Amino acid sequence: MSEPQDQTPTESHMLIPATTTPVPETAPEPPAEPRLLFNPPIDIYETPDGLVLYADLPGVTAEGLDLQVQDSRLTLFGRVQQRDPVARQILHQEYQVGDFLRSFILSDEVDHDRIQAKLTNGVLRVELPRAPRAKPRRIEVSPG
C-alpha cells in the first residue's frame, strides 16, 4: 500500500509519521518464533525549541530499543523483553504482546544531530530541536 504522506515532506511539517516502515537493518535477527508487530500510539507537540515526540512502548527497555535517523527518516523499533508466564489458561485477553515499529519523515527544520531520546516506564520521549536558521549569505557577483 502506498501513501501520499510517505513522499517528500512538505515544508510545513517537521515530522510526519510515515505509514510504511522498513524494518531497520540493525534490528536483531528475528527469532524462530513468530512475533507480532504493532504501530505504537504517539503524541507530538510543539515547544519553543522544536518538537517533542512521545510513544507508548509497554514492555520495552532501553536495551530493546533501536532508534535511528537515516535519510531523513526517524525509525523507532522496540523489542519487548519480558514475556508473560506460561499460562495454564488465558481467562481474559484484551491485548497481545508484540514489538513496536514506527517511522517518521523528518524535514530539514529538525536538527538531526541534536535529537535526544529517553525511555522511562515504557514511554519513549524524543526531543527534536529546531535547526538554527541559516544566516543569509551574500553571493558575490563578479563582473563578467
Partner 1 sequence: MAVFRWGQSWDPFQDLEREVDRLLQGVNLSLHGVRFSRRFPQVNLLELDDAYVLTAEIPGVDPKALEVTTASGYLTIKGTRVPPEEAREDSFRRQERFHGPWQRKIQLPDRINEEGMRADYTAGVLRVTLPKAPSATPRQIRVNE
Residue 105 contacts residue 16 (beta carbons within 8 Å) = yes
Instruction: Record the cell numbers describing residue 130, joined without a space.
Output: 529546531
CA atoms within 13 A on the CB side of 28: 13
**Residue 113 CB partners (closer than 8 Å, separation 6+):** none
- The closest alpha carbon to 58, from 104, 94, 106, belongs to 94
Q: Would you count residue 139 as binding partner 1 (CB under 8 A)?
A: no
Using CB under 8 A, pick the residue from 29, 95, 116, 138 that binds partner 1: 95
Among the listed ranges 5-13, 26-34, 67-75, 135-143, the one in contact with partner 1 (CB under 8 A) is 5-13
Among the listed ranges 23-31, 44-52, 66-74, 136-144, the one in contact with partner 1 (CB under 8 A) is 44-52
Q: Which residue matches cell numbers 530493546?
A: 64
Using CB under 8 A, pick the residue from 31, 45, 137, 143 that binds partner 1: 45
Q: Would you count residue 81 as binding partner 1 (CB under 8 A)?
A: yes
Q: Where on the chain is the footprint of partner 1 (CB under 8 A)?
A: 1, 3, 5, 10-13, 15, 17, 19, 38-47, 51-52, 54, 56-61, 81-82, 84-96, 107-109, 120-123, 130, 133
